[in-house]
Amino acid sequence: MQVQIFGTKKNPVARKALRFFAERRIPTHFVDLNERAASPGELKRFAQKFGVQALIDPDSKRMRELGLHAGYHTDDRWLQKLAEEPLLLKMPLVRYENRLTIGDAEAEWKGWLS
């Protein structure tokens, strides 16, 4: 079992996810979005399950900096923008095999372990 976590080292919820799996000795692969963006294919996988709007963090600092909070964009445009600007994502994005979560989903993570 290996879990993939997309987030930043400064994000408290991403750190919580890392700690959750580390305490249970589950190996994780952490993708720091400050160093490397998630691929468009990976983002599409999350978007297919949750919808594009669920991936967007409307309260993020980067959203305000870019002035995107006031405009309307299509889902395809949002996916392109999220691939270019990963700090717009709601974090963490967690993947284990075909199971996906966005944000703090400790109850679901516990279900994966049983």
What's the pTM?
A: 0.90
Q: What is the pLDDT of residues 81-113, one digit of tens each?
A: 899 999 999 999 999 999 999 999 999 999 998
Domain of 35 in residue numbering reads as 3-113
SS3 per-residue string spanning 32-79: ECCCCCCCHHHHHHHHHHHCHHHHECCCCHHHHHHCHHHCCCCHHHHH
In angstroms, the CA 20 to CA 114 distance is 14
Domain count for the chain: 1
Q: Cα 45 from chain centroid?
A: 11
Q: Which helix (H) or strand (E) holds 29?
A: strand 28-32
CATH assignment of the domain containing 38:
3.40.30.10
